[in-house]
């Protein structure tokens, strides 16, 4: 199998990658003054492991390579984490991240197929990604291709009926080239999952539909890597439930549902970058730039 990552990096390297993705997320959202930080930050370890842990087979120079693995971000509002990973992986220049949500930018607020390279499906209408992923996986099986499909869902999204139709269909057809990952951070737009429509017993529901299931700490990169390796070895569909923290990595955003869809201000950007290890001079320049943009609106 060809892969863009020839050797698996150690966990220190992966943690550095994760921190870099978090820096990109807060920067691009502050520049756009719009977007969804909480669910982008909570998904960083899943995305880091896929793109930089030797799990996902891809070639940034050939984004339409027929034998590539597919990653579908079903929780489309979390797309800043995907854009950050694609830039780090070499699909496009880092400078393009600053165009997030701008008019005519390829990097819109939800993934749009046919815009930026590396985007495999248009998502954002929640609940559809697993159905799309299952269709791609079954097509690959029919074509005798060995690519895999990885689908990242949100926990609030799993209140959608279409998710369970797709899960049931996957259990029936039994493709072993699809992996579902759930970013279980406990919150959705309107509040806590348990207050709106509880999901438990969550793992048992997947298992009852024929999925192999593993529950992990979704911020433990070692556990994420191990679970992904386990998942690709299953003879049938596999689901990884990652228990995560909304806004992970920026303390004032963690489990603070205000930041589901509120971008950081220039002062908050500077505070976030401080926590993420960015030097003071660079933080000040970026915060001043964000302030100047806001003043010009």
Q: In CATH, what number does 11-264 get?
A: 3.40.50.970
For 248-264, the pLDDT digits (tens) are: 999 999 999 999 999 99
**HEC per residue, the chain:** CCCCCCCCCCHHHHHHHHHHHHHHHHHHHHHHCCCCHHHHHCCHHHHHHHHHCCCCCCCCCCCCCCCCCEEEECCHHHHHHHHHHHHHHCCCCHHHHHHCCCCCCCCCCCCCCCCCCCCCCCCCCCCCHHHHHHHHHHHHHHCCCCCCEEEEEECHHHHCHHHHHHHHHHHHHCCCCEEEEEEECCEECCEEHHHHCCCCCHHHHHHHCCCEEEEEECCCHHHHHHHHHHHHCCCCCEEEEEECCCCCCCCCCCCCHHHHCCCCCHHHHHHHHHHCCCCHHHHHHHHHHHHHHHHCC
Q: What is the pLDDT of residues 45-65, one digit of tens each?
A: 999 999 999 999 999 999 999
pTM for this predicted structure: 0.92
pLDDT, tens digit only, all 297 positions of the chain:
344 444 567 999 999 999 999 999 999 999 999 999 999 999 999 999 999 999 999 999 999 999 999 999 999 999 999 999 999 999 999 999 999 999 999 999 999 999 999 999 999 999 999 999 999 999 999 999 999 999 999 999 999 999 999 999 999 999 999 999 999 999 999 999 999 999 999 999 999 999 999 999 999 999 999 999 999 999 999 999 999 999 999 999 999 999 999 999 999 999 999 999 997 646 555 655 555 555 554
Cα distances (angstroms) measured from residue 209 to each of 83, 141, 162:
32, 20, 14
Sequence spans of domains, the chain: 11-264
């Amino acid at each position: 199998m060809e892969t863009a990552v020839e050797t698996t990096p150690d966990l220190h390297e992966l943690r550095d990658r994760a921190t870099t993705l978090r820096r990109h997320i807060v920067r691009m959202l502050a520049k756009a003054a719009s977007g969804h930080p909480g669910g982008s930050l909570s998904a960083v370890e899943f995305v880091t492991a896929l793109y930089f842990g030797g799990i996902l087979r891809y070639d940034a120079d050939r984004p339409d390579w027929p034998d590539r693995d597919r990653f579908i971000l079903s929780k489309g509002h979390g797309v800043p984490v995907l854009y950050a990973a694609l830039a780090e992986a070499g699909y496009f220049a880092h400078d393009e991240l600053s165009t997030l949500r701008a008019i005519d930018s390829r990097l819109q607020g939800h993934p749009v197929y046919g815009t930026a390279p590396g985007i495999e499906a248009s998502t954002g209408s929640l609940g559809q990604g697993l159905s799309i992923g299952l269709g791609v996986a079954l097509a690959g099986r029919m074509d005798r291709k060995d690519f895999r499909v990885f689908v990242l869902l949100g926990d609030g999204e799993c209140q959608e009926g279409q998710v369970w139709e797709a899960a049931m269909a996957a259990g029936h057809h039994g493709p072993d080239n699809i992996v579902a990952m759930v970013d279980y951070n406990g919150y959705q737009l309107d509040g806590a999952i348990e207050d709106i429509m509880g999901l438990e017993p969550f793992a048992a529901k997947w298992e009852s539909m024929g999925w192999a299931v593993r529950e992990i700490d979704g911020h433990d990169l070692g556990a994420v890597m191990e679970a992904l390796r386990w998942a690709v070895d299953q003879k049938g569909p596999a689901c990884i439930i990652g228990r995560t923290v909304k806004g992970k990595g920026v303390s004032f955003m963690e489990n603070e549902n205000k930041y589901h869809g509120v971008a950081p201000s220039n002062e908050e950007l500077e505070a976030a970058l401080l926590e993420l290890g960015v030097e003071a001079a660079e933080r000040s320049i970026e915060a001043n730039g964000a302030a100047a943009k806001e003043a010009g609106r």
